[in-house]
Amino acid sequence: MKTMVIGLFVLLGILRPAAADMTEAVLVPFVAEYDVRYGSMVVGTSRTELSRSSPPGRWIIQSSSTASGFARIIASGTLVQRSAFELVPDGLRPLSYSFDDGTKRTGRDVRLEFDWRANKVRGTAEDEPVEIEASAGLQDAASMQALVLARLRSGAEPGTISMIEKDRIKQYRYALLRRERLKTAIGEFETVVYRSARDGSDRETISWFAPELGYAVVRAEQRIEGRKRGFQTLIRRFQPGGQVP
């Protein structure tokens, strides 16, 4: 189930290369809610919220996923991941990251702190200590979503993004597939469709980003070896603005 959540979170003309001056204007607060399907079955809901924090230039992105029906046998609680990050002139820099599987057990939880003065990431992942080098541009699973939005809003390609997963750094590559007009539960939108995949993996995510909604994801599908065999997220509500409690 954790793999599902990371996959879903990591779902949100010709564009310029992936380089842009990151200012407050490249992000807009919002709340988006989704139905989660596996095949034709609704197996849960998910919610993503992007909000400003303090001091100016700092933001929070939080995503949650709640299983329903038979899926509650696998994951009975609400899974939550949250990243606090800041915008810097050459990009987006995570400050802290957490993943909670919704149970009292900590064997699947993650807590990371980014020390950019020492260029280190420290914390725990699944009850094991983590301390690795933090190279420029490194993201966590949640801040990567915000970075993709920021790059798209500034007219840049998402490109290749380094992401920490537990105690390892992995590379995710985004490629523009097409433009498509898509009907959704909240209306019809022009979208840009991207494929994202981790190096060395046969899994990929296809995401539909809607410029009219600040490039929020309105649909995402997980595929294995090019086939639609994984989870799908379909937008059901979008609200500009919002604050994470």
Percent of the chain with pLDDT strictly greater than 70 = 84
SS3 185: coil
pLDDT of residue 226: 66
Contacts of residue 14, Cβ cutoff 8 Å, sequence gap at least 6: none
Contacts of residue 139, Cβ cutoff 8 Å, sequence gap at least 6: 92, 94, 147, 161, 162, 163, 164
φ/ψ region of 33 (left if φ > 0, alpha if ψ in -120 to 50, else beta) reads: beta
SS3 211: helix
Decide if 174 contacts 150 (C-beta within 8 A): no
Residue 11 buriedness (CB in 10 A; 0-12 / 13-18 / 19+): buried
The CATH number of domain 2-240 is 2.40.360? yes
Q: Please state, in angstroms and rounded to a whole number, the distance separating the CA atoms of residues 222 and 4.
A: 9
Phi then psi for residue 28, to 5 deg, are -130, 130
| pLDDT 10s digits, 32-82 | 999 998 877 888 899 999 999 988 889 999 999 887 754 444 555 789 999
CA angle, residues 86, 160, 130, in degrees to nearest 5 = 60
pLDDT of residue 8: 45
Decide if 111 contacts 98 (C-beta within 8 A): yes
Q: Which two tokens stand for residue 4?
A: 């599902």
Q: Which amino acid is at 207?
A: S
Record the pTM: 0.84
pLDDT, greater one: 86 or 245: 86
Residue 21 pLDDT exceeds 60: no
pLDDT of residue 41: 80
Neighbour count for residue 146 (Cβ, 10 Å): 23
